Amino acid sequence: MVALTDNRSTKQLAAGDRSGLLGANQTIYAGSLLMRNVSGHLIKGALATGSFGAGRAEAPGISTTAGLTPQTFREGSFQFANSASTDLIAIADIGTVCYIVDDQTVAKTSASATRSPAGTVVDVDANGVWVRFDEALTRAQLS
């Protein structure tokens, strides 16, 4: 392709708004943490490896077969529950990757490589952990 010689109307995907296909046997609740599995499908946040945090579910969804049910979700920063004990995320962890415990909880560590990365910790307060979900950014931080 040659360089531009005039203005161009470049297509844009609106920041934050996303849609993907659900994995098999999923029950998704609006507001829950979603992750993308190794097959590229969206599944609810759970203790698993090989997946990445995708974002927050914008609507409920139920699937029985992988790849048939569309699911809307949003990338961005959202607050989820903080883990407990030695996996509690603190203010000192802002800027680091946190890990998925379930569809509403994140933790400081991968628990000996048994958890998938959620996203980047952007704040911590008494109500939980603010996590920035951006699949590309999370993958880049881990490589």
pLDDT digits (tens, 9 = 90+) for 96-130: 999 999 999 999 999 999 999 999 999 999 999 99
**Residue 80 corresponds to which amino acid?**
F
Question: For residue 134, what pLDDT is reported?
Answer: 87
The number of distinct structural domains making up the chain is 2
Shared domain for 58 and 84, answered yes or no, is no
Asked whether the beta carbons of 32 and 57 are under 8 A apart, the reply is yes
d(CA 21, CA 117): 20
What is the layout of strands, in order, in the sheet containing 42-44?
17-21, 70-74, 52-57, 33-36, 42-44
- 70 within some domain: yes
Give the contacts of 83 (CB within 8 A, at least 6 positions apart).
89, 101, 105, 106, 107, 108
Beta-strand pair 61-63/26-28: antiparallel
Residue 36 counted as domain residue: yes
The reply to whether 107 falls in a domain is: yes
Does residue 138 have a pLDDT over 80?
no
Domain boundary among 74, 99, 121: 74
User: Do residues 62 and 109 both lie within one domain?
Assistant: no
Q: At residue 91, what is the residue type?
A: I
- My answer on whether 27 and 82 are in the same domain is no
pLDDT at position 91: 98
Q: Model confidence over 9-48: pLDDT tens digits?
A: 887 766 678 999 999 999 999 999 999 999 999 999 999 9
Local confidence band at 136 (pLDDT 50, 70, 90 cut-offs): confident
Please give the residue range of the domain that contains residue 58.
17-74
Q: Measure CA 100 to chain center.
A: 9
Kindly give, in sequence order, each residue whose CB lies less than 8 Å from that of residue 9, ignoring residues fewer than 6 positions away. none
Task: Tell whether the model's pLDDT for residue 77 goes beyond 70.
Answer: yes
On whether residue 8 sits in a domain, the answer given is no
pLDDT at 93 over 80: yes
